[in-house]
Structure 1
Amino acid sequence: MSRFVKGISFIGLTIAMFMGTLDSTIVNIALPKIMTYFNASLTDASWVATIYTLALAVFMITGSKIADRYGRKKIMLLGLALFGGFSAACMLANSLTELIVFRFFQGLGGAIITPIVLPMGIEIFGKEKMSKVASVVGAVTALAAAGGPPIGGIILEYASWRWVFGINVPLTIVSFFIAAVWIKESYDETLAGKIDLPGTLLLTLSLGGLTFGLLEGRQYGWNSGIILGSLVVGLLAIILFIFVETRVKNPLLELKLFREKTLTASSFVYFLTGFALVSSTLILNYFLQDVLNYTALHAALIIVPVSLTIMVAMPLGTKLFDQVGAVPVTFIGILTMAISLLLLSFIKTNTPKDVMVVFLIINGIGFGFSSVSLVAFVKHLPKNKSGIGSGIVNAARQIGTCLGIAILVTVLNNNVNTAKQNIHQNATGIINQEKLSPRVKTTARQQFNKVFAISG
């Protein structure tokens, strides 16, 4: 394979990785527009974002295993067809229900293409280039995850919300053409026999139950039967899954892979980066648009330094990784990310924009260094296990994102409700203290009660 063919093939793969990851965050900034267009509530509209994340978390490991067994190129083309086709369907959706259904299948395509980019890239360049391939894939992943809100904000400023989905269509066509023409087929040669169907069903049930419970706990209530039932079913299914996998001949997930400490540690670090990503790309975006009343584009321009910093921090972190190892680099990354989140917590309505940007740059440095964990595990796994390893690590990040949404948005909602109650009580107290006629006081209290009753 010539250098040109290798280069163009890898570009096609990185486009696929960029799209699949981008769509996990780009839609958040478009939810207000979608709510208005379909005259929907925030609870209903949020499913447009939730269902995609749910599909990614649940099907990544299964998708990577099927690709290892039956051919990564064939499964990549299938995933691209699903992703691109249902991106077009999302763009043309006539109802919110249609959009949510189409997003699920788009997420299924994303779950297929995202984890198998790494093993296909290693197949193109060879095992001796594993670290460099993983570094580029990690940088593209981090850039796409952090770049969703800024890119979405720019699209919303100059086009309809439908182009948040439509942007994927031409990119998918390019990636599909490159994969079909230039990329060669590859497998995990150590796999044999049929796919572990019981393991597949149990893993899907466990990840589906846990992810749904985490994502929707704030909407249904953490004590509701559907959420408690979902979490319990997920936990029981994962226990049963582990039991089954230790006894079947050809397991879906080879648990012995977790004996490699680097894979386990990389999964945990990627889990933390997924959790931390919610603060800068979702919570801060709410603050900028809903509290400071910035436009989507204005908010995007403030958040975009995270993405730009990652473009520098990830390659720098990889160079440091080659010299001093993974532990110091990822530790510095996690510590820096934690410091940035602490700094972001001090932002108030009168905080200068320059200060916010500095905090986000620190966040981008931490995120870029932490993403080196995607490079670390590759060095310690056999080449033919890079596919399932990539599926495990990427699934960990999606689950971390789900947990971040569950905890941070719940805290946000509680803080907003507390603030509303305090404002209501203060307003009522001011009315009671003023020297007004009883009739005026009664009318004023009624109007305040009415305002706060409909301001959910």
Structure 2
Amino acid sequence: MNKLKGVLPVLLLGNLLCMMDVSIMTIVLPEIQSAFGESLTELSWALNIYTIIFATLIIPFGRLAERFGQNKFVFTGLVVFGLGSLLTGLSPNLTWMLVARAIQSIGAAAIIPTSMVIGLDLNSQANRNRVVAALAGVQGLAVALGPTVGGIVAQYWGWRWVFFINVPLVILDLIVFGFVLPLRHEKTVHVKIDWLGALLSMALLFSLSLGLIKGNTWGWQSTTIVSLFTLTTISFIAFLAWERYTAHPMVDLQLFRSRNFNGASLALVLCNFFLGGLAVLLPTFLTRVHGTSELTAALLMTPYSVTVMVTVILTSLVIRHVNNKLIVASGFLLMGISYVLLGRIPLGSNYRQLIIADILLGLGYGLVAATANILAVADFHGARLTSSQSVANVLRQVGMVLAIAVFTTLLTSNVTHAKRETLAVAHTQVSRLANVTATQQHRLNQKLQRRLNPNSTAVTSTKTKFKPTTITVSTAARQQKAHRIYQQQLLSIATAKAVPVTLIPLSAKQQLQRSITIAVNRKITQRVHQLNRELTELTQRIHQSLKHHLNHAFLNVFGVLSWLPFAAILMVPVFKFRHDH
């Protein structure tokens, strides 16, 4: 019996939960924002801290696992991840949540790279492709599935259960873990730990991740961001110099003599970048621009999640029979077509084109990711296998972090432009309201300026429509106008009859006052109704203009970057031919 049969499901579940929590929060951020009363900028740290710590710890944890026992390391990682999930679900405020998410990410960093090594060590060379495809594929699936699962769970049980749901699954995994993987008398490797290399790699990845994620918020030319990228550069140079010098490197640089590994590394960064772009933008696009519920948005994202899973499985089965370069090239081609379609989604409620683009992206990602993950380990065994997995996992995270940086930067610029365009249209429309006074126009423009603040990076939701300014005329103002007209008419009658006003009969005066009051009130009411109708139509036009411009702001990001997947095909020659590996 294959001794991996009982182990693989345990490893798969742990990987699924850890990677799902990279993206699962994107769909529930609005609910958490309402619960905590925090800005989305502050709340985004709950996403960022998980990604940054996760990426930072992967390489040193991969080596530490060899020394202390890989099974124990993964088991401990599951315990820590489960504890972090419970604490995140119990969070009463943002500070608590940030600490809990950090605990989660520490557990995830202990699980992900070591799981792959355990799976490969327990299996034969002949079945290595299936193991790699299964574990790496489930990681890509989990990132894609995160918003879908988060949307469904939050819809029916609330946002806290997005994290609570991890706890029973982790407990189940821990129970089975003890039966299929030994924790006592486990084989360990007494390797020397490259502590300086670990410190340099952590400084490198921390500064790079933080700089890319917060560059748009803090300003790309700000002192903080420039300092972070300076630290990244210094750490990278120092890391390479030290790893070449030390006898026990944290990452064996001999890995990069393999063409397959180099090609796989680049492919992993790129395919996760393209997948991350969709995961970053689509939930906000659907909920804030198209006004869908979180559940509907989750369901619309499901096709690419399912396609990723199916494609990864099928690719792992046929990879020995099809040229690897052809598979990778086809994957990037499909992702490019997907981005072209995403850049041209119509504004209406027909999401057929979005679903087709979802499926094509899932197909493309599955083809590239499965092949790249298999080729990343194709040439290695032992310690180099561990290093290759650590580096591959870091590169997946780099792809995701790059996606967050690039896509949010382009989106922020587009959203600012969209708000300015909408404001320009709104001001023009307001100026054309002939029956509205200059004071009323000024107040209306101020209200629009506050709602469509171009200096804010937040995406103005089209769910909440503009409340039209309602014009009313008070009873006192009506009486004052009627009295003024009455006095003028009375004077005109007296002049025409060449008599003093005092000689006009009281009954005639009262009749004149009644008729003028009725006429004035009728005219004012008609005018108010007409003005309010015009204002209602104006706000509807402004709302439609905002929706149009925001729709273009999101889709333009995919359109601008649609050339990149096609250009990625040019890196395919880096790989060796299938028959060479």
TM-score in terms of structure 2 length: 0.75
- Describe the superposition over 1:330-370 as per-residue Cα deviations: whole angstroms up to 9, x where unpaired: 22112211221221111232262122111100111001101
Following superposition of structure 1 onto structure 2, how do residues 272-351 of structure 1 map, counting pairs within 5 Å? 272-350=270-348
Inter-partner Cα distance in structure 2 for 1:452 and 1:299:
24
Inter-partner Cα distance in structure 2 for 1:392 and 1:296:
35
Inter-partner Cα distance in structure 1 for 2:46 and 2:302:
23
- Describe the superposition over 1:90-117 as per-residue Cα deviations: whole angstroms up to 9, x where unpaired: 1111211110111012111111101111
Following superposition of structure 1 onto structure 2, how do residues 415-430 of structure 1 map, counting pairs within 5 Å? 415-430=414-429
Q: Give the equivalent residue in structure 2 for 1:411.
A: 410
Conserved 8 A contact 2:57-2:202? yes
Q: Give the equivalent residue in structure 2 for 1:138.
A: 136
Inter-partner Cα distance in structure 1 for 2:116 and 2:247:
27
Conserved 8 A contact 1:215-1:406? yes
- Describe the superposition over 1:129-183 as per-residue Cα deviations: whole angstroms up to 9, x where unpaired: 2111112112212211111111111101111111111111111112222223321
Conserved 8 A contact 1:149-1:300? yes
Inter-partner Cα distance in structure 1 for 2:272 and 2:306:
18
Once the 2 structures are TM-superposed, how far is the Cα of residue 393 of structure 1 from its aligned partner? Answer: 0.8
Inter-partner Cα distance in structure 2 for 1:338 and 1:284:
17
Once the 2 structures are TM-superposed, how far is the Cα of residue 406 of structure 1 from its aligned partner? Answer: 0.4
The answer to which of 127-136 and 419-428 deviates more is 127-136
Counterpart of 1:447 in structure 2: which amino acid? Answer: K
Conserved 8 A contact 1:69-1:187? no
Inter-partner Cα distance in structure 1 for 2:132 and 2:452:
52
| Partner of residue 155 from structure 1, selected from 146, 153, 163 | 153
- Asked if residue 390 in structure 1 is aligned to residue 389 in structure 2, the reply is yes
Conserved 8 A contact 1:279-1:341? no
Q: Give the equivalent residue in structure 2 for 1:446.
A: 446
Once the 2 structures are TM-superposed, how far is the Cα of residue 383 of structure 1 from its aligned partner? Answer: 4.6
Change (3 A) 1:325 1:56: farther
Inter-partner Cα distance in structure 2 for 1:407 and 1:165:
28
Conserved 8 A contact 1:143-1:311? yes
Q: Give the equivalent residue in structure 2 for 1:433.
A: 432
Following superposition of structure 1 onto structure 2, how do residues 52-451 of structure 1 map, counting pairs within 5 Å? 52-184=50-182, 192-350=190-348, 352-372=350-370, 373-435=372-434, 436-451=436-451
Question: 3-state DSSP class of the match of 2:428?
Answer: helix
Counterpart of 1:428 in structure 2: which amino acid? Answer: H
Q: Give the equivalent residue in structure 2 for 1:16.
A: 14
- Describe the superposition over 1:225-255 as per-residue Cα deviations: whole angstroms up to 9, x where unpaired: 1111111101111110111111112111111
Question: 3-state DSSP class of the match of 1:16?
Answer: helix
The answer to which of 131-140 and 429-438 deviates more is 429-438
Once the 2 structures are TM-superposed, how far is the Cα of residue 193 of structure 1 from its aligned partner? Answer: 4.2
Conserved 8 A contact 1:347-1:356? yes
Change (3 A) 1:383 1:245: closer
Conserved 8 A contact 1:320-1:329? no
Counterpart of 2:152 in structure 1: which amino acid? Answer: I
Conserved 8 A contact 1:118-1:386? no
Inter-partner Cα distance in structure 1 for 2:84 and 2:437:
62
Change (3 A) 1:95 1:295: same
The answer to which of 310-319 and 291-300 deviates more is 310-319
Conserved 8 A contact 1:58-1:204? yes
Inter-partner Cα distance in structure 2 for 1:212 and 1:389:
24
Change (3 A) 1:351 1:447: closer
Counterpart of 1:386 in structure 2: which amino acid? Answer: L
Change (3 A) 1:449 1:59: same
Once the 2 structures are TM-superposed, how far is the Cα of residue 48 of structure 1 from its aligned partner? Answer: 0.8
Q: How many residues align?
A: 452
Q: Which runs of 5+ in 1 are unaligned?
A: none
Counterpart of 1:422 in structure 2: which amino acid? Answer: E
- Describe the superposition over 1:174-211 as per-residue Cα deviations: whole angstroms up to 9, x where unpaired: 2222223321466685xx54211111111100110011
The answer to which of 321-330 and 74-83 deviates more is 321-330
Question: 3-state DSSP class of the match of 2:122?
Answer: helix
Conserved 8 A contact 2:276-2:399? no
Inter-partner Cα distance in structure 1 for 2:305 and 2:187:
33
Counterpart of 1:412 in structure 2: which amino acid? Answer: L
Conserved 8 A contact 1:266-1:377? yes
Once the 2 structures are TM-superposed, how far is the Cα of residue 33 of structure 1 from its aligned partner? Answer: 0.8
Once the 2 structures are TM-superposed, how far is the Cα of residue 447 of structure 1 from its aligned partner? Answer: 2.6
Question: 3-state DSSP class of the match of 1:350?
Answer: coil
Conserved 8 A contact 1:67-1:187? no
Q: Which runs of 5+ in 2 are unaligned?
A: 459-581
Following superposition of structure 1 onto structure 2, how do residues 23-42 of structure 1 map, counting pairs within 5 Å? 23-42=21-40
Change (3 A) 1:307 1:452: closer
Q: Give the equivalent residue in structure 1 for 2:569.
A: none
Inter-partner Cα distance in structure 1 for 2:47 and 2:260:
31
Inter-partner Cα distance in structure 1 for 2:409 and 2:54:
22
Question: 3-state DSSP class of the match of 1:343?
Answer: helix
- Describe the superposition over 1:19-40 as per-residue Cα deviations: whole angstroms up to 9, x where unpaired: 1111111111111111110000
Once the 2 structures are TM-superposed, how far is the Cα of residue 453 of structure 1 from its aligned partner? Answer: 4.0
Inter-partner Cα distance in structure 2 for 1:400 and 1:6:
30
Conserved 8 A contact 1:86-1:103? yes
Once the 2 structures are TM-superposed, how far is the Cα of residue 384 of structure 1 from its aligned partner? Answer: 4.6
Once the 2 structures are TM-superposed, how far is the Cα of residue 388 of structure 1 from its aligned partner? Answer: 2.0
The answer to which of 15-24 and 429-438 deviates more is 429-438
Counterpart of 1:232 in structure 2: which amino acid? Answer: T
Inter-partner Cα distance in structure 2 for 1:377 and 1:394:
11
Question: 3-state DSSP class of the match of 2:321?
Answer: helix
Inter-partner Cα distance in structure 2 for 1:145 and 1:451:
34
